[in-house]
Amino acid sequence: MTTSITLPRFDDMHVHFRDGAALKRTVADTSRWCARALIMPNLVPAVDSIAAVQSYRERIIAHIPPEHDFTPLMSLYLSEHLSPDTVRQAKAAGVVAIKWYSKGATTNSTQGVANVDSLAPVLEAMQKEGLLLLIHGEVTDADIDIFDRESRFIERILMPLRRNFPALKIVMEHITTAQAVQYIRSQSEHLAATITPQHLLFNRNRLLVGGVKPHYYCLPILKTESDRLALIDAATSGDPRFFLGTDSAPHAKHTKENACGCAGCYTAWHAPALYAQVFDSVGKLDKLKDFACRFGADYYGLPYNSGEIVLKKQAMRIPEHLPYLEDSTVVALEGGSEWQWSMEI
């Protein structure tokens, strides 16, 4: 029986750092085990200009602990303010991707995409420049059930988009359904997906049975058990189109535990241990290295990371609360529980 595994430092290809005082917590937690992370741009105001992305990068770098070797990978927010000229400038400025939020789909998405047809010039420029398109793939029309949003997005938006821009490299972020897995597997190139720990670990019963549990509320929302099993099969299959993206998203405890219902699970503190438990549960721990350290780098055209982390199969208690902002804490996913795997740097 495997009791420990040594891996290179991970890539997290989808993480929310927030801004301001939050950076002290979020940057330190992710950079402890990541060599690189792709930072989401849904701040207020959105990071949708070259000046904004450069300034945000500088604020992040200022919070990297000196003992951590870490590189933030930056993305731009796909808003109405983005132009083909901005796309070209972004490539030159080192931006690696542009993020599509369907309008109203998640936290700080009010500036997101409402009119898909208006995006054609920007998408053409991205295709030409080689900038990746990251998609929060949900249809948010009021008549669409929240559990069907991802599937409808694939049918209504993603399929036509891929026909119109066949050379555009796309990442479907934080997939949640068996349909998404099947669709990605059916495509020959230029389409990949990230998978979060919460969608591998839990189905919607964890959120809803016995009362609504706000710390399991994320968007896209947790789905059925058959969907969860399809995600595990994809993540542990060795298929390079599926790789790690935590979607770690901090919210202060008091904003999660009220009528706001803020969406997001905070996993930056302990994500490698969460993933290790999933992969170990199906006897596929040997597949974790590629999922966490290789496939994302390959898809983005990045060199592999050096350094190492050690994951051990020994009990770890996840803290109930972590210091966050000056007057608040953040609750890590499964906070207060015993976990089978732990992490050493």
Per the annotation, binding residues for Zn(2+) are 14, 16, 99, 136, 174, 247
- Is the previous residue joined to 41 through a cis bond, with omega within 30 degrees of 0? no
Asked if residue 160 lies in contact with residue 137, where contact means CB atoms within 8 angstroms, the answer is no
Amino acid at 126: M
If one counts every other C-beta atom within 10 angstroms of the C-beta of residue 119, the result is 18
Active site residue 233: no
- What is d(CA 316, CA 310) in angstroms, rounded to the nearest whole number? 14
- What is d(CA 10, CA 172) in angstroms, rounded to the nearest whole number? 20
Asked if residue 138 lies in contact with residue 220, where contact means CB atoms within 8 angstroms, the answer is yes
Instruction: Extract the annotated binding site.
Output: 14, 16-18, 42, 99, 136, 174, 219, 247, 251, 263
Torsion of CA 51, 58, 38, 295, to 10 degrees: 120
Candidates 29, 48, 247, 280; catalytic one: 247
- What is d(CA 66, CA 84) in angstroms, rounded to the nearest whole number? 37
- What is d(CA 337, CA 317) in angstroms, rounded to the nearest whole number? 6
Buried b (16+ CB within 10 A) or exposed e, 218-247: bbbbbbeeebbebbbebbbbebebbbbbbb
Instruction: Extract the annotated binding site for substrate.
Output: 16-18, 42, 136, 219, 251, 263
Of the CA atoms within 13 Å of residue 6, those in its CB half-sphere come to 3
Q: What are the residue numbers of the active site?
A: 247
